[in-house]
Structure 1
């Protein structure tokens, strides 16, 4: 593989990883008010390849085991005898901050992909002359 192919493979793996992260974050945001919902997290790991260049891969999606919020609403159908039920452990502020970080990382990978493609095209143009 050429250096251009390696660079494109690395940026493509980063794009896939950040897209998965954004999907999981979107699920968390959508379920902020869902009773009993546990926040999902997605770890990244290095993936060995047949070249000297390592790529990023998404690990197994995990559930956040932090305590669920106790919500007091005696009128809620899930409320117990004391009028409480388990809410979710999703913090909307953290999810939005993580989503912005993932978006910026995605954009950086996309920019690297485009720069590599342009350099490859420029090299081909020089070789044709």
Structure 2
């Protein structure tokens, strides 16, 4: 019985971590055109009981895109300003990966729940 509960806990922790990842990906996509915006990255940590947990978010330190638009209010003397370092192709790929990981954890959670229900049904007989 404790193995079933452990699998439920592991699946729930995985779903929580992937939902946090999806939240950061959606923030990155929403701010792709925001000048000076740096992409947020999230890592996963292993907890003491072996479950996964979302780590702290950190900013991507890669170069910001330089955009030439002389009439822009943020443009410097050369007519350039710093855009964001968000690449929509990477963000969409990350969102797909997080979605699939979430769905895999959801299937694992559902399977463990069904097994627990079957065990309870057997014990009631």
- Give me the TM-score of the superposition, normalised by structure 2: 0.98
What is the aligned partner in structure 2 of residue 71 from structure 1?
A: 67
Counting matched residue pairs gives 125
Q: Aligned runs of 1:103-122 on 2, under 5 Å?
A: 103-122=99-118
C-alpha separation in 1, matches of 2:117 and 2:54: 30
1:10 and 2:6 are equivalent in the alignment: no
Query: CA offsets, 1:98-127, max 9 Å, x none?
Result: 000000000000010000000000011111
Tell which deviates more after alignment, 90-99 or 1-10.
1-10
Instruction: Give the secondary structure class of the aligned counterpart of 1:58.
Output: strand
**Structure 2: which 5+ runs fail to align?**
none
C-alpha separation in 2, matches of 1:57 and 1:125: 33
Give the alignment's Cα RMSD to 1 decimal.
Answer: 0.8
1:32 and 2:32 are equivalent in the alignment: yes
What is the aligned partner in structure 2 of residue 124 from structure 1?
A: 120
**Structure 1 segments (4+ residues) deviating >6 Å:** none
C-alpha separation in 2, matches of 1:72 and 1:80: 10
What is the aligned partner in structure 2 of residue 90 from structure 1?
A: 86
C-alpha separation in 1, matches of 2:31 and 2:11: 30
- Give me the TM-score of the superposition, normalised by structure 1: 0.95
Deviation at 1:39, TM superposition (A): 0.3
C-alpha separation in 2, matches of 1:111 and 1:92: 28
